[in-house]
Amino acid sequence: EIKGAEDVLREFTGLEMDKYYRPPQGAFCRTNLEHAKMLGYKTVFWSLAYADWDDKKQPEAQKSLERLIERTHNGCIMLLHPQSKTNAEILEQYIVTMKQKGYEFCLIDELVNSGSTT
C-alpha cells in the first residue's frame, strides 16, 4: 500500500512521498513497522488526539480548543483530521494562544532530526 501511494503521488504530482509513516488508526504490528522501515520510512505516532474525525459528530469548538490547550506538551505531535470543521474553526486561535505561552511550531523533519522532543 505504501509503494502504491508513492506511485500515485509521483504519477499525478511528480513529487516523492515524505518518508514518514503513521499507521492508520494507530493500529500496527511488528511486520508493518518493519516493512515501513525497509522502505526507508520513520514511523511517527501522535501524542495528542481527540475525537474530531466524524463529520456528523463534530465536537464543540470552545471545548475542543480548551482540551487541546490543556493537553499540549513539549514535543507534542498532534493528530488533527483535515476534514474537521471544528479544527478549521479553532486552529488559528490555538496557534496564537500556544505561541503566547512560549510554544514553537515546527515541521516533523525538524522535530525528528533535532533528537529532542522538548
Q: Which three cell numbers stand for residue 66?
A: 480548551
Residue 115 — very low, low, confident or very high, per pLDDT cuts 50/70/90? low
Signed CA dihedral, 30, 39, 118, 52: sign only: negative
Instruction: DSSP for 72-108, please give it.
Output: --TT--EE--TT-HHHHHHHHHHHHHHHHTT-----H
| Cα 12 from Cα 7, distance rounded (Å) | 9
In tens, the pLDDT along 17-76 reads: 999 999 988 899 999 999 999 999 999 999 998 889 888 999 999 999 999 999 999 989
Closest alpha carbon to 59 in 33, 87, 32, 37: 87
Return the pLDDT at 116. Answer: 53
